[in-house]
Amino acid sequence: MTSKVVYPGSFDPITNGHLDIIKRACSVFDEVIVAVFHNPQKKPLFSMEEREKFLIEATRGIDNVIIDKFEGLTVDYVKSKKAIAIIRGLRAVSDFEGEFQMASLNKQIDGEVETIFFMTDTKYAFLSSSVIKEVAQFGGNIAELVPEQVEEELMKKYHIYK
């Protein structure tokens, strides 16, 4: 049996922290589906198509990753892909409460869907898409924190030219 998992997220934009989780999940599972989620509660800076494009570019060369996008319940998406689990990254203890709540809700909705947590590498523990956007908006250096294409697109969005 092939072990297939789904790593869902808004990825607005993808960071090197996300990439770290993707690479590590790919070393454990046969197939990792990284799925851009449309969250109606958020107003993303980048379209789903742009985020999907960033992920495709950033994961080029990783053989067992598939990039996709979806709307609706994550558990429904996971089941439709015949995946065995949801992957989630944890940066700090503060992330755990919200992630635990969501994992418990997903388990209540569908008892067959597991959630597997990956602790982020400590060098990315402070990193979030929100922080990246804020730093980029004020012209800060994000070169070591995001893939090169994402850095370029953020600078364009915020009309910052170096």
Check the annotation: does 54 bind a ligand. Answer: no
Check the annotation: does 103 bind a ligand. Answer: no
Check the annotation: does 140 bind a ligand. Answer: no
Among the listed residues 76, 81, 80, 79, the one whose alpha carbon sits nearest the alpha carbon of residue 66: 81
Q: Which residue has the tokens 């993303």?
A: 44
Give dist(CA 131, CA 61) in Å, integer: 27
Check the annotation: does 104 bind a ligand. Answer: no
Check the annotation: does 60 bind a ligand. Answer: no
Check the annotation: does 154 bind a ligand. Answer: no
List the catalytic residues: 18, 42, 91, 129
Check the annotation: does 37 bind a ligand. Answer: no
CB atoms within 10 A of CB 130: 11
User: How much is the CA Rg of the chain, to the nearest whole Å?
Assistant: 16
φ/ψ of 9, rounded to 5, equals: 180, 170
- Binding positions are 10-11, 18, 42, 74, 88-91, 99, 124-130
- Binding positions for ATP are 10-11, 18, 89-91, 99, 124-130
- Binding positions for substrate are 10, 42, 74, 88
